Structure 1
């Protein structure tokens, strides 16, 4: 399996991961608290999903304000649509038996 297809497969391996991706595509810039409340996820599960998606390169994590003006640790998340969708295309091509190699691993 091409590396990018494997990465996409790991990103959508559970319904919780899919739910988080769908939520963030609909509400980019959401905080972990907003995600957990909306999807009724416990904090540890959400942390694990967010860490995994970040490691795969499919999330951007944005502090809301410069360090000097922040109060607390409000972090927002966004899905890297272009990369995720490109890798999903490679996965689908692989599943069809026609890996085009259009996206480099």
Structure 2
């Protein structure tokens, strides 16, 4: 028996829902989209969250191509002590939004 129920016809919504998955990720995207070039401290302050909550989600959003960083992240790279600025990949977020809308029957 599967762990999670998957309704018939829900395949199109699976990726968008998994990528956004929770309010923390959605809030990070909203903040960074309106404040491009933000570092982690202002993101954490604005969302009233600690960096140990925000950083892993930023990494997930970056790995999914929804957020970009300067300098870019590479697996195995240690960025301690380096100021990293985050921006939203507007094209990728728009694509995700459209895919979710189509899956929900909005478009």
TM over 0.5: yes
TM-score range (shorter-chain normalised) is 0.7 to 0.9
2:102 aligned partner: 93
8 A Cα contact 1:7 1:56, kept in partner? no
The whole-number CA distance in structure 1 between the counterparts of 2:106 and 2:32 is 31
- Describe the SS at the equivalent of 1:30: coil
Counterpart position of 2:38: 30
Contact 1:31 1:75 in 2 (8 A): yes
- Where in structure 2 are the equivalents of 1:11-30 lying within 5 Å? 11-30=19-38
Give the Cα–Cα distance (whole angstroms) in 1 for the partners of residues 103 and 70 of structure 2.
33
1:43-83 deviation per Cα after TM superposition (whole angstroms, max 9, x unaligned): 111011101101111111113xxxxxxxx410000111111
2:87 and 2:106 map into 1 onto residues whose CA distance is 31
Please, what is the CA RMSD of the aligned residues? 1.7
Q: CA deviation at 1:10?
A: 2.1
Unaligned runs of 5+ in 2: 1-10, 72-80
1:15-36 Cα deviation digits (max 9, x unpaired): 1111100000110000011111
- The number of aligned residues is 88
If the length of structure 2 is used for normalisation, what is the TM-score?
0.73
Q: Where does structure 1 lack aligned partners over 5 or more consecutive residues?
A: 64-71, 99-105
Moved beyond 3 Å, runs of 4+? none
